[in-house]
Amino acid sequence: MNYRHAYHAGNFADVFKHVLLVRMLDYLKRKEGGFRYIDTHAGPGRYDLSGSEAMRTGEWRDGIDRLARADLPGDVKGLLKPYFDALGTPPREGGPYQYAGSPCLAQKVLRRQDRLTLCELHPDDSRALERNIGRDNRVRLLNEDGYRALKGLTPPTERRGLVLIDPPFESRDEFETMETALFAAWRKWPSGMFALWYPVKEIRPVAHFITRLKERGIPRMLRIELTVELIRSDGPLAATGLILVNPPYVLEAEARALLPVFAKLMGRGPGAGFAIEQITGEPIP
């Protein structure tokens, strides 16, 4: 599939991904020392939900719009507060608004002592990212392929941090490329935190991806998925997931509080639900 983000900004997959991203960044802030956030496919950083692409699909209405208007349980409100604080301007009554992507969310969450490295290969998106980030001496922008750049960016000098690998899935071998990039970066930085986002259009490629990750023998991996309706290869995106390496010890419990609410709130019929599992495996001899 080709997941051009301007058409899908603010949808259920974005909400799922960005809430958990902010939870992980917030956890890293518990220690005073600075850390590094690396985004391999940063995109333009901000999206106009009144733009032609977003209005054509209207997917944000079943994602961020539903979440922003929901009457949420107190514990869930507490977990979502850093996300909403970073997101900024709430939706206008009955209308769309600007939605922050992962670079702008991270920029809001990180402190003075933390650093961001943002990679974006597409020239138009790279220029838009530069405008949307503004002048910020914590940020390094790289107009290059994020997979290639990751080899030289790990481990960072801070020795603590998070890598988000969030490609548009334009290539048929995207899962294989993600797996290879993760393993190479993890071998150089085994204490690093990694988050791999993926869409679920078909079950088999995702199952194969997870099997291959298990065979790599990487310890401490967590799979989290959200499904909003029955998955059909010829239908709209119905499920999304994250593979997390070295996730915060509190994240699984937080996900178990958040995901039932997300599935109920953003579900579109039969099949809505979630999955959370440890997927640590043993390396092939």
Secondary structure (H, E, C), the chain: CCCCHHHCCCCHHHHHHHHHHHHHHHHHCCCCCCCEEEECCCCCCEEECCCHHHHHHCHHHHCHHHHHHCCCCHHHHHHHHHHHHHHCCCCCCCCCCEEECHHHHHHHHCCCCCEEEEECCCHHHHHHHHHHHCCCCCEEEECCCHHHHHHHHCCCCCCCEEEEECCCCCCCCHHHHHHHHHHHHHHHCCCCEEEEEEEECCHHHHHHHHHHHHHHCCCCEEEEEEECCCCCCCCCCCEEEEEEECCCCCHHHHHHHHHHHHHHHHCCCCCCEEEEEECCCCCCC
Note the pLDDT of residue 285: 46
pLDDT of res. 19 = 98
Given 39, 65, 166, 173, the catalytic residue: 166
Residues forming a β-bridge with 198: 241
Position 210 confidence tier, pLDDT thresholds 50, 70, 90: very high
pLDDT score at 204: 94
Domains and CATH numbers, the chain: 5-278 (3.40.50.150)
Residue-level pLDDT at 2: 46
- What average pLDDT does the chain have? 91
Is it the case that residue 149 has pLDDT exceeding 80?
Answer: yes
166 catalytic? Reply is yes
The pLDDT score that the predictor gives to residue 58 is 73
Residue 98: predicted pLDDT:
83
Q: What is the pLDDT of residues 59-74, one digit of tens each?
A: 888 899 899 989 999 9
Tens-digit pLDDT profile for residues 216-275: 999 999 999 999 999 998 888 999 999 999 999 999 999 999 999 999 999 998 999 999
